Chain A
Amino acid sequence: MHSVDNHGMGKPSDLVQGTLDLLILKTISLEAKHGWAIAKRIQQISGEVLQVQQGSLYPALHRLEQQGWIRGKWEESETGREAKFYTLTAAGRKQLEQETANWNRLSGAINLVIEKAYPEKEG
Chain B
Amino acid sequence: MRWLEKIRMRLEMLLHRRREVRRLDAELAFHLEQQIAENMAAGMSSEEARYAARRAFGNPTLLGEQAREAWSWNSIEVALQNIRISMRTLARTPGFAFISILVIAIGIGANVALFTVVRSVLLKPLPFKEPTRLLRLYEHSSDDKNPYNQVAAGIFAAWKKQSHSFSDMAIVSTSGEYNLSGAGGQLPERVRAVEFSWDLLPTLGVEPAFGRNFTAADDRPSANATTILSWGLWKRRFGGDPSILNQTIRVNARPYTVIGIMPSWFAYPEQGVQLWVPIYHDESPKDMEVLDSHDFVPVGRLKPGVTETQARAEMSLIVRRLHDEHLDNPFIAKGADTRPLLEDIVGNIKTPLYVLLAATGCVLLIACLNVANLLVARAAARRRELAIRAALGGSRWRLIGEHVTESFLLSAAGGLAGLLLARTVIQWLVSTRQDISRVEAIQIDGVVVAFTMGLIFFCAAFAGLISSVSTTGDKMLSSLQEASRSNSAGPARVTLRKWLLSLEVGLTVVLLVGAGLLLKSYQRLRASELGCVLNNVLTMRLGLPEAKYSHEPERVAFYEALLERVRSLPGIQAAGLVRLVPGQGYGGDSGFWVAEHPPLPQGQSQYAIVRWADPGYFGALGIPLLSGQIFDARQRFDKANEVVISESFAQQYFPGEDPIGKHLLSLGRRSYKVVAVVGDTRFHIAAPARPIMYFPLYANIYEGVPIDATLAVRSSRDATLLALPIQEVVQQLDRELAVSDILTMDQIIGKSTLDSSFDATLLLAFSVLSLVLAAVGLFGVLSYIVAQRTAEIGIRIALGAQRERVLSLVLLDGLRPAFLGLALGLVVSVATAGLIRSMLYGTEPLDPAVFLSVMAILLSVAAGACLIPAWRASRLDPMAALRAE
- Which chain B residues border A54 with CB–CB below 8 Å? 28, 31, 57-58, 63
- Which chain A residues lie closer than 8 Å to B823 at the CB level? none
Q: Does B648 contact A (CB under 8 A)?
A: no
A71 and B5 form a contact (CB under 8 A)? yes
B37 within 8 A of A: yes
CA distance A118 to B67 in the complex (A): 44
A91-B5 contact, Cβ under 8 Å, with A55-B58, A59-B69: yes
Residue of chain A at shortest CB distance from B60: A54
* Chain A CB within 10 A, most for which of B1, B26, B70, B71: B70
**B813 beta carbon closer than 8 Å to chain A:** no
Q: Kindly state the separation between the CA atoms of A74 and B20 in the bound complex, as whole angstroms.
A: 12
Interface string of B1-42 (1 = CB under 8 A from A): 111011001000100000000011011101101110100000
Q: Choose among B5, B27, B57, B66 the residue that contacts A59 (Cβ–Cβ < 8 A).
A: B66
Chain A residue with minimal CB distance to B62?
A: A55
Contacts of A60 in B (CB 8 A): 70
Contact A66 B70 (CB under 8 A): yes
A82 / chain B contacts, CB cutoff of 8 Å: 26, 30
- Proximity bits, B69-112, A CB within 8 Å = 1, else 0: 11110000000000000000000000000000000000000000
Query: Are A68 and B37 in contact, CB atoms less than 8 angstroms apart?
Result: no
Does A15 belong to the interface (CB within 8 Å)?
no
CA distance in complex: A63, B13 (Å): 12
Query: Within 8 Å of chain A (Cβ to Cβ): is B68?
Result: yes
- What is the count of residue pairs linking A and B with beta-carbon distances less than 8 angstroms? 74
Residue of A at shortest CB range from B8? A68
A36 at the interface (CB under 8 A from B): yes
A68-B9, A84-B23 in contact; A36/B71 too (CB < 8 A)?
no
For B7, the closest partner residue in chain A by CB is A68
Asked if residues B31 and A36 are in contact (CB atoms below 8 Å), the reply is yes
Partner among B5, B26, B30 whose Cβ is within 8 Å of the Cβ of A68: B5
Residues 15 to 45 of chain A near chain B (Cβ within 8 Å)? 34-36
Chain B CB within 8 A of A99 CB: no
A83-96: CB near B (< 8 Å → 1, else 0) gives 11000011100000
Question: Would B2 and A89 count as touching, CB distance under 8 A?
Answer: yes
Q: In whole angstroms, what is the CA distance A71 to B71 when docked?
A: 14
Instruction: Give the complex CA separation of A42 and B35 in angstroms.
Output: 15
Q: Which residue of B lies closest to A36 (CB)?
A: B34
Q: Which B residues, 773 to 806, have Cβ-Cβ distances below 8 Å to chain A?
A: none
0/1 per residue, A55-82, Cβ < 8 Å to B? 1001111110111110100100101011
What separation, in Å, do the CA atoms of A34 and B31 have in the docked complex?
A: 9
Contact between chains at A62 and B6 (CB < 8 Å):
no
Distance from B713 Cβ to chain A, minimum over Cβ atoms (Å): 88
Distance from B754 Cβ to chain A, minimum over Cβ atoms (Å): 66
User: Count the B residues whose beta carbon is within 8 Å of the partner chain — how many?
Assistant: 29
Interface residues of B in 463-522 (CB under 8 A from A): none
Q: Which residues on B sit within 8 Å (CB–CB) of A66?
A: 6, 9, 13, 70-72
Cβ of A8 < 8 Å from any Cβ of B?
yes
Interface string of B605-641 (1 = CB under 8 A from A): 0000000000000000000000000000000000000
Chain B contacts for A7, CB-based, 8 A: 66
Contacts of B69 in A (CB 8 A): 59
Beta-carbon contact of A55 and B23 below 8 Å:
no
- Chain B residues whose CB sits within 8 angstroms of the CB of A90 once the complex forms: 1
A81 to B6: give the CA distance in the assembly, Å. 28
**B27 & A84 in contact (Cβ 8 Å cutoff):** yes
**Chain B residues in 8 Å Cβ range of A55:** 58, 62-63, 66
Q: How far is the CA of A89 from the CA of B34 in the complex (A)?
A: 26
Minimum CB distance partner of B72 in chain A: A66
Nearest-CB residue, chain A, relative to B64: A58
- In the complex, are the beta carbons of A67 and B27 less than 8 A apart? no
Nearest CB on A from B330, distance (A):
88
Would B66 and A36 count as touching, CB distance under 8 A?
no
Chain B: CB-nearest residue to A67: B6
CB distance from B198 to the nearest CB of A (A): 73
CA distance A91 to B2 in the complex (A): 6
The verdict on A91 contacting B1 (CB below 8 Å), with A36-B34, A62-B71, A68-B9 known, is yes
**Residue in contact with B70 in the complex, picked from A63, A74, A77, CB distance below 8 Å:** A63
Cβ-defined contact, A58 with B63, below 8 A: yes
Q: How far is the CA of A59 from the CA of B9 in the complex (A)?
A: 15
* Chain A residues whose CB sits within 8 angstroms of the CB of B33 once the complex forms: 81
Is the Cβ of B27 less than 8 Å from the Cβ of A35?
yes
Q: Most B CB atoms within 10 A — which of A62, A71, A74?
A: A62
CB distance from A48 to the nearest CB of B (A): 14
Whether A62 pairs with B58 at a CB distance below 8 angstroms is no
> Do A58 and B66 touch across chains, with their CB atoms under 8 A apart?
yes
Q: How far is the CA of A7 from the CA of B6 in the complex (A)?
A: 22
| Chain A residue with the shortest CB-CB distance to B28 | A58
- Residues from chain A with Cβ under 8 Å of B68 in the complex: 62
Residue B30 contacts which of A34, A62, A65, A91 (CB distance < 8 angstroms)? A34
Are A68 and B67 neighbours in the complex by a CB distance under 8 Å? no
Say how far A21's CB is from chain B's closest CB, in angstroms.
12
- Residues of chain B within 8 A of A65, CB atoms compared: 9, 70
On whether the beta carbons of B30 and A83 are closer than 8 Å, the reply is: yes
What is the CA–CA distance of A59 and B74 in the complex, to the nearest angstrom? 13
- CB-CB under 8 A from B9, the residues of chain A are 65-66, 68
| Other A-B pairs, 6, CB within 8 Å; known A67-B6, A68-B6 | A8-B66, A54-B58, A54-B63, A55-B66, A58-B24, A91-B2
User: Please, could you name 16 A-B residue pairs with CB atoms under 8 Å apart, sorted by A?
Assistant: A7-B66, A35-B27, A54-B31, A54-B57, A55-B66, A63-B70, A65-B9, A66-B13, A66-B70, A68-B9, A69-B2, A79-B37, A84-B26, A84-B30, A89-B2, A90-B1
